[in-house]
Amino acid sequence: MSGISAGVPMISPQELNAANFGAYPPLAKQAALDHLDLLREMPTPFLALLLRELINWDWKFPAERKELDRQFTYLNSVSKEQRKLLFAPFAALKLSEALEAMDWVNAPAAFSEQLSAHLWATHQIDSFRTAAVDFFAKVTAAVPDKPPQMSRLAIVTLGLGVQGNKYPLFRKLRPYGTYFRRVNSENAWPALMDAVNARAKKHPEAFAHWYIDGGSSETGGDSLTTVSYNALTPVRARLQQKMLQIFSSGTGPEAFRSMLARMRPEDLGMQENGAPVLSRFELSLLTEGSGTQIFSTTFVQWAAREALRRAQPLTLLARYGLRQRERPMNELLAEARGRPELDPRGSMIDADMGAYYTWLNQQRLAGAGQSNFVAWFEAGTEAVAIGPNFKRAAVSDTQVKLADIVSGVS
């Protein structure tokens, strides 16, 4: 079953059994069966949103699985009467006949989209948001985030190809740390790589240490989870061709978004090769992000955001490269058929804002008060460092090696 079965109501949560999860991937199916009694107690709106996450269990990062486990741990820790009170606001939501007939078990994402539109249209969205915020507040209070095993470190580098820069970099970051104006960048890149790889070897956890590359020829090393804009060029080219066909046909934005949402790795010739979690992550970057298919700077910014949000890494190194100059969409999508005109200064300005967003996203993670952040202008002598060992809103005119800045926080 999928989509809307005209006039045929979907089963109720109380009627769920093992057969209903037969189409789920193996690990997701087992997780559903492990908590089947609990799922039967949930009202449909709450359950469908939970299943939207659970159905992708096989392709989730360890941090994401822990987040779902926290919810199950909390719900199992309270009495059935308490759970009924928790679920009451969700159970009170009035659903349309079309929603009631949807296969929310096997298509929870589609159901969630329709549910959101319905709640807005029927002025129930505020009630839903209040209930959701209250629920997650209770989960966090009962099962708080554990501090990371080591202080987090995020490094953003930018400015490749820029000459004679006069743009004031790091303005949004300077109030929170120390701005260095005389950075000696000799052997800086090898030093960065050595630092992040040393952290990865010290705490060798899966998906805990990342290198996101926006266009250079560097490799991250075996200790790092690496995502590369250039390495995904064949995949992006296939996706761009499909996108160009959709645009040329005059199809509307809804159909365009649906096409992207239905994409699977094999549709774009992606070989999962024993790494389905990372492959699915890369696919999501290209199908869920806006502009990630055609702008390398957008790709890096979105990849850093999603890695921090989903994998919650201890170490993140994001290197911005050069993006193509902005042009009409049909020309941008034809990138794979020619050599695009590059825009060094525009790339740098994009990356400067991207660095700020990366710091903001890092601050949302557990242990933010002890986390460290460094942004470095590769083509010049500027850097900014934020963390417990750096003064806020400070400026340093002392000559310093980038390696010494990083060694002070790693």
Q: Which pLDDT score, from 0 to 100, does residue 271 have?
A: 80
Section 377-404 average pLDDT = 95
**For the CA atoms of the chain, what is the radius of gyration?**
23
Banded pLDDT at 327 (limits 50, 70, 90):
low
**317: helix, coil or strand?**
strand
Q: Which residues contact 147 (CB under 8 A, 6 or more apart)?
A: 366, 367, 370
Section 382-391 average pLDDT = 96
Per-residue pLDDT at 109 exceeds 60:
yes
Section 147-167 average pLDDT = 93
Pairwise CA distance, residues 102 & 3, whole Å: 6
Banded pLDDT at 11 (limits 50, 70, 90):
confident
Written in H, E and C, the secondary structure of 360-391 is HHHHCCCCHHHCEEEEEECCCCCEEEECCCCC
- Which has more confidence, 71 or 267? 71
Banded pLDDT at 410 (limits 50, 70, 90):
low
Section 250-254 average pLDDT = 67
SS3 content of the chain, % helix, strand, coil (to 5): 50, 10, 35
Per-residue pLDDT at 2 exceeds 60:
no
Phi-psi category of 187—alpha, beta or left, where left has phi over 0 and alpha has psi -120 to 50?
left
Section 337-343 average pLDDT = 74
Q: Which pLDDT score, from 0 to 100, does residue 6 have?
A: 39
**56: helix, coil or strand?**
coil
Per-residue pLDDT at 8 exceeds 70:
no
CA 67 to mean position of chain CA atoms? 14
Average pLDDT, the chain: 90
Model confidence pLDDT, tens digit, residues 32-81: 999 999 999 999 999 999 999 999 999 999 999 999 999 999 999 999 99
Q: Which pLDDT score, from 0 to 100, does residue 175 have?
A: 98
Q: Which range, of 154-163, 177-186, 252-261, 371-380, averages the lowest pLDDT? A: 252-261
Section 91-103 average pLDDT = 93
Alpha helix stretches (DSSP H) within 2-79: 26-34, 36-41, 44-54, 62-77
- Which has more confidence, 242 or 312? 312
Banded pLDDT at 3 (limits 50, 70, 90):
very low
- Which has more confidence, 369 or 251? 369
- Which has more confidence, 338 or 81? 81
Model confidence pLDDT, tens digit, residues 177-217: 999 999 998 889 999 999 999 999 999 999 999 999 998 77
